[in-house]
Amino acid sequence: MPKDTFFNLPIEKRERFIEAALDEFSLHDYRTASVSRIVAALGIAKGSVYQYFDDKKELYRYLVTLAAETKFSSIDSSISTDASDFFARFKQVVFHGARFDFSRPRFANILYHATYEPSETDILDISAQLKESSYRYIRGLVDDGVKRDDLRKDLDVEFVVFALYQLTISLRDFLSTKFAFSFKDAVRKGKGSPISDAALNEVIDRLIEFFRSGIGKERNRTRRGPAPEKAAS
Amino acid sequence: MPKDTFFNLPIEKRERFIEAALDEFSLHDYRTASVSRIVAALGIAKGSVYQYFDDKKELYRYLVTLAAETKFSSIDSSISTDASDFFARFKQVVFHGARFDFSRPRFANILYHATYEPSETDILDISAQLKESSYRYIRGLVDDGVKRDDLRKDLDVEFVVFALYQLTISLRDFLSTKFAFSFKDAVRKGKGSPISDAALNEVIDRLIEFFRSGIGKERNRTRRGPAPEKAAS
Amino acid sequence: MPKDTFFNLPIEKRERFIEAALDEFSLHDYRTASVSRIVAALGIAKGSVYQYFDDKKELYRYLVTLAAETKFSSIDSSISTDASDFFARFKQVVFHGARFDFSRPRFANILYHATYEPSETDILDISAQLKESSYRYIRGLVDDGVKRDDLRKDLDVEFVVFALYQLTISLRDFLSTKFAFSFKDAVRKGKGSPISDAALNEVIDRLIEFFRSGIGKERNRTRRGPAPEKAAS
Amino acid sequence: MPKDTFFNLPIEKRERFIEAALDEFSLHDYRTASVSRIVAALGIAKGSVYQYFDDKKELYRYLVTLAAETKFSSIDSSISTDASDFFARFKQVVFHGARFDFSRPRFANILYHATYEPSETDILDISAQLKESSYRYIRGLVDDGVKRDDLRKDLDVEFVVFALYQLTISLRDFLSTKFAFSFKDAVRKGKGSPISDAALNEVIDRLIEFFRSGIGKERNRTRRGPAPEKAAS
DNA sequence: GATGAATGAGAATTCATTCAT
DNA sequence: AATGAATGAATTCTCATTCAT
């Protein structure tokens, strides 16, 4: 997605550029992000950006991809693969995903933006691509969980993937609120208020427990009969 | 949020204006929505908009509020209050919420946009306001569920509200994908492909069942001991 | 092609705008002409241009159309319709066309540009439209000439129209060279060196005579014998 | 016009360069032609162009000159010098000129562009230079025709040269329209739809006849006999 | 209360040319 | 002789908002 020019750049220069671009796109969404601001911050010529990338969209695509790959591989390299069951593994994924978000708020923000820009018609493909890879990742875990017999047999996998995806993604909002952690501030100031593993664990335990058992009273568990009839009038 | 002049308008005129504004803001997000297009569609002067509202933002706030209120009261008037338990009631809320979205796609889209525009710094308060009222609505149901003893005792209500909110909100995406229902097309063409009550019910049953019991194997249900210990190293 | 806004403008203002636009587009071809220069010359905001016209192309179309219509009607109102035969009439057309060009060099230049911009793909339609109307004008004269029996019977009308069109159009070049009349200078300085009716007449007589009788020796006219054999090898 | 470095280039390399430059300048006029595209197509460095030529303009000048010289010598080598009279010779020139255009559309286009770019102030001299050499060529023929007594005595040679030049040059347009031959397509696809000698001859006969005798009624002029039949085989 | 022309900062993008390597 | 990254002025176009009428 970048042109050769970009990869031919001295590493130091390339990284300065990436930093500046991350700053911009993590503080503003695609539309609002400004190429002009990036070059102003870097003190380089506007034309240079277009030596590196075909257009703003390709630059954005690069950053989103970079963020996604970095996050996935960060998670992958952090989880211990010997986790006993599906829930233990998923917990690790969520935990290290959250840790990643807190420690790399610029990446986190970019992924957040890319996830929630459904109206920007001209970057639909980037959002879709990101969602697709997230789904794939989760579906892999779920399929595995089904095989290991950790999950119920009667699940609609598609629905489960959706539910896990949405809650995992939006956990960021919950944490942000609960711990008064501002991702924007974290980007601007370089560092946000640290959140202890214990505190984080507690929240994620709750999430996992929600996934595992829901919120209904346990006695209700004996589901018989044709399920909740006529919700509609 | 509107000025007095707006309410002094002949009803017919006011409604025409609202229609046009809904059209615009349901097809485009806040940034992309264009005041110019609205007045062009209406054939009125641009200045008029500023006679009615202080600025674009106030107009947006008005529409979001209108959409939220209309949706809440539509749901409220549709559910039968004698619903047996929490899940039955919540199911009705979700069901009629979805029905509302399908039948009033412009309102649905505006709420969707308002929910997912976290980067537009200058409308943060509108998004927050909307989220707040949605949370309040759901918290009311949950509190009630707790009182009625339909829910576990050990729940973190704040977390539960968050989880219900996120999944309920994003159900739209799942339904949209599953039934190939394009909200944008629905706005443009006036009507989307209808989805049967049965099909909708099936999906929502799954959601409710997920809420109630999660996805873990039932035998695991006997949770004793110290629960999932330290995911993080 | 202009928007309503443009016609609602106070005449004086509108005319100032047209003047400035004519200046720009008569001194530069479509690509090279600059909207920025126009507004700079006028001291108005850049946005104003786009209140008047959808885009640069529409502005150009307006100017070309204006130039063509002005020229045609100037010619039409100048020729005496009782001209005896085709050649006398055509001569008047050419004469008044040339007079128009000299006295309205900006219009002349714009028409010149529009005629010879065959590579600018995005304004092909404007050029084509202009050519079409010129052809129609000339074809009308030729058809009339045929009816009046002023022209040979065996003519290929399409070819004749083409030949008359090309020579008439490009007469400008000949005159410009012969009389050292620089159209660009005429635009810039407001006025070019005047050319007497007599001098102009002399040239146009030659053109008309060329149309009427060609350049071949009269005796040759009795062409018998083998005529021009094998041009191609 | 090229620098020495250009001629020091291995022939093969030089020719590849010329080919690519011809492609670009035959598809776009001077302004629109892009040095960047040329080097991209060749896979060479942008700086190389400036090792070979001082600037874009000199490159253009080279190509125009090359095209003109190639065309003139192609025509010269094709015409049989023993042609009986002026018209027969001129016909051959036009015929082989047209054949050249059809078979070398890139050259044709470049000459066309160079002929009709009167507004690009900074390449005026190139256009002028081309026009000058074309005029010289035609004037040679006309002078000869006068000497051979094929033409009227009272001609204004300057005017005649102009008229012959303009119609000869613009014949391309007439042929292009009449035979639906797109020069751009011919460049892009390598070959255009072929036009038979017979068809071409017919048009050129008409042109020559127009030159010889004009379009006026014969009564002034004792022509009998069966018009110019089949000049070319 | 309505009008709608004017504003002007801001956006993305292009491209011939240079020059240090 | 070749490279190719850097330049930066220039381009068209957008749009919420204002304000005199």
Query: pLDDT tens, A12-65?
Result: 999 999 999 999 999 999 999 999 999 999 999 999 999 999 999 999 999 999
CATH number at residue B160: 1.10.357.10
Nearest to A116 by CA among A106, A131, A101, A136: A131
Write out the DSSP string of D161-199: HHHHHHHHHHHHHHHHHHTT--HHHHHHHS-PPP--HHH
B15 touches chain A (CB under 8 A): no
Nearest to B165 by CA among B136, B129, B205: B136
Pick among C86, C123, C215, C229 to test the D interface (most D CBs inside 10 A): C215
* Amino acid at the residue D199: A
Nearest CA in chain C to D157: C215
Element (H, E) at B229: none
User: How far apart (Å, rounded) are the C-alpha atoms in residues A33 and D97?
Assistant: 56
**Over residues C136-160, mean pLDDT:** 93
Band of residue A226 on the pLDDT scale cut at 50, 70, 90 = very low
To the nearest whole percent, how much of chain C has pLDDT over 70? 91
Whole-number average pLDDT of chain B: 89
- A191/C225: higher pLDDT: A191
Task: Using CA coordinates, name the residue in chain C closest to D78.
Answer: C233
- Residue D41 in domain: no
Q: Which nucleotide is nearest to B33 (CA to C1')?
A: F15
Task: Give the residue from chain C lying closest to D99, CA to CA.
Answer: C232
Q: Stretch C112-140: mean pLDDT, rounded?
A: 90
**B167 vs A163, A217, A218: nearest CB:** A163
Lowest mean pLDDT among C44-58, C142-156, D111-125: D111-125
In a domain, C53, yes or no: no
Give the per-residue pLDDT at D197: 94
D28 touches strand E (CB under 7 A): no
Q: Given A80, A119, A215, which is nearest B160 (Cβ)?
A: A215
Nearest beta carbon to residue B206 from set A80, A159, A167? A159
Nearest beta carbon to residue C210 from set D149, D214, D222: D214
The pLDDT score that the predictor gives to residue B58 is 95
**B106 in contact with A, Cβ within 8 Å:** no
Q: For all residues of chain A together, what is the average pLDDT?
A: 90
Asked whether residue D40 is assigned to any structural domain, the reply reads no
Q: What is the mean pLDDT of each run of 10 residues along chain D (233 residues)?
A: 92 94 92 90 92 94 96 92 84 96 94 82 89 95 92 91 96 94 89 87 95 78 42 41
- The backbone torsions φ and ψ at residue D133, rounded to the nearest 5 degrees and listed phi first, read -70, -35
Q: Is the CB of C228 under 7 A from strand F?
A: no
CA dihedral angle for residue D151, residue D155, residue D158, residue D159, rounded to 10 degrees:
-100
pLDDT at A162 over 80: yes
Residue indicated by tokens 């309205």: C104
Smallest CA–CA distance, residue A9 to chain B, in Å, is 31
Cβ–Cβ contact B135 with A under 8 A = no
Coil/strand/helix, residue C32: coil
B7: contact with A, CB 8 A cutoff: no
Instruction: Assess if residue B91 is contained within a domain.
Output: yes
Is residue C77 within 8 Å of residue C95, measured between CB atoms? no
If you search the block for the tokens 């002005």, which residue do you land on? C70
pLDDT of residue C225: 39
The residue assigned the tokens 């049967």 is B196
Q: Is residue A25 part of a domain?
A: no
Give the model's pLDDT for residue D153: 84
Q: Do A210 and B163 touch (CB under 8 A)?
A: yes
A8 CB less than 7 Å from any atom of strand F: yes
Q: Residues 115-154 of B near strand E (Cβ < 7 Å)?
A: none
Residue B201 has pLDDT above 50, yes or no: yes
Report helix, strand or coil for C92: helix
What pLDDT does residue D32 have? 86
Which positions ≥6 away from D75 have C-beta within 8 Å? D93, D96, D97, D100
pLDDT of B220 reads 45
Contact status, residue C157 vs residue C139, Cβ threshold 8 Å: yes
Total number of domains constituting chain C: 1
Categorize the per-residue pLDDT at A223 as very low, low, confident or very high, splitting at 50, 70 and 90: very low
Task: Give residue A62's pLDDT.
Answer: 97
Token pair of B17, please? 């204006």
Collapsed DSSP state (helix, strand, coil) of residue A221: helix
Residue type, C56: K
Angle, helices D86-103 vs D105-115, to 10°: value is 110
For residue A92, name the pLDDT band (cuts at 50, 70, 90): very high
Side-chain-side CA neighbours of A134 within 13 Å: the count stands at: 26
pLDDT greater than 60 at residue A222: no
Asked if B227 has any chain A CB less than 8 Å from its own CB, the reply is yes
From residues 18-47 of A, list those within 7 angstroms of strand F by Cβ. Answer: 44-47
- pLDDT score of D118: 62
Q: What is the pLDDT of residue A22?
A: 97
* Chain C residues within 8 A of D223 when measuring between CB atoms: 221-223
Residue C223, both tokens: 């062409």
Name the residue of chain D whose CA is nearest to C145's CA.
Answer: D216
CB of A144 closer than 8 Å to CB of A79: no
Q: Do B220 and A212 touch (CB under 8 A)?
A: yes
Query: Which amino acid belongs to residue C28?
Result: H
Could you list the residue range(s) of the whole structural domain that residue D215 is in? 64-220
- Provide the 3-class DSSP secondary structure of residue C53: strand
Q: Which residue out of A215, A229, A233 would a mutagenesis test of the B interface target, given it has the greatest number of B Cβ atoms within 10 Å?
A: A215
Are residues C183 and C109 in contact, defined by beta-carbon separation less than 8 angstroms? yes
Closest nucleotide over all strands to A8 (CA to C1'): F5
D50 touches strand E (CB under 7 A): yes
* Domain membership flag for residue C131: yes
Higher pLDDT, B230 or B7: B7
Our measurement of the distance from residue C38's CA atom to the centroid of its chain's CA atoms, rounded to an integer in Å, reads: 24
Backbone angles phi, psi at A53, to 5 degrees: -135, 150
Whose CA is closest to C71, among C24, C29, C33, C103?
A: C103
Please name the member of C155, C206, C231 whose beta carbon is closest to the beta carbon of D201. C231
C218 at interface of D, judged by CB pairs closer than 8 A: yes
Contact status, residue C155 vs residue C180, Cβ threshold 8 Å: no
Q: What are phi and psi of B216, to 5 degrees?
A: -70, 155
Q: Which of residues 46-65 of A touch B (CB under 8 A)?
A: none
In a domain, C225, yes or no: no
> Are A and B touching by the rule of 3+ CB pairs within 8 Å?
yes
Nearest alpha-carbon partner for B202 in C155, C60, D128, A154: A154
Q: What is the helix, strand, coil percentage profile of chain A, to 5?
A: 70, 0, 25
Phi, psi of D129 (to 5 degrees): -60, -45
Backbone angles phi, psi at C180, to 5 degrees: 50, 45
Nearest nucleotide, C1' to the C-alpha of B122?
A: F16
* Chain B contact present for A119, CB below 8 A: yes
d(CA A113, CA A101): 13
Q: Are chains D and A in contact at 3+ CB pairs closer than 8 Å?
A: no
Q: What is the pLDDT of residue B225?
A: 41
CA distance A107 to A99: 12
- Distance from residue A2's CA to nucleotide F12's C1', rounded to whole Å: 26
CB atoms A151 and B216 under 8 Å: yes
Q: Is D9 on the interface with C (CB under 8 A)?
A: no
Euclidean distance between CA atoms D231 and D233, whole angstroms: 6
Q: Does residue C28 belong to the interface with chain D, where contact is any CB pair within 8 Å?
A: yes
How far apart (Å, rounded) are the C-alpha atoms in residues D126 and D149? 35
**CB of A51 lies under 7 Å from some atom of strand F:** yes
C155: its two tokens: 């003519």
Q: Which residue is nearest to nucleotide E3 (CA to C1')?
A: B45
Q: How far is the C-alpha of A167 from the C-alpha of B161, rounded, in Å?
A: 12
| Chain B residues closer than 8 Å to A180 by CB | none
Q: What pLDDT, on a 0 to 100 scale, did the predictor assign at position C104? A: 95
Q: List the single best residue of A99, A119, A127 to mutate versus B (max B Cβ within 10 A).
A: A119
pLDDT > 80? residue C218: no
Q: How far does the CA of residue D93 sit from the closest CA of chain C (Å)?
A: 8
What is the average per-residue pLDDT within C70-86?
A: 88
The distance (Å) linking the CA of C13 with the C1' of F21 is 17
Most confident of B109-118, C145-154, C159-168: C159-168
Q: Does D144 touch chain C (CB under 8 A)?
A: no
- Cβ of C227 under 8 Å from any chain D Cβ? yes
Q: Residue A61 CB closer than 7 angstroms to strand E?
A: no
Q: What is the mean pLDDT of residues A75-86?
A: 84
CA distance, residue C8 to nearest chain D CA (Å):
33
Give the ranges where chain B is alpha helix by DSSP (H).
4-8, 11-27, 35-42, 46-52, 56-78, 86-103, 105-115, 124-147, 157-178, 183-189, 197-213
Cβ within 8 Å, pair B205-A211: no
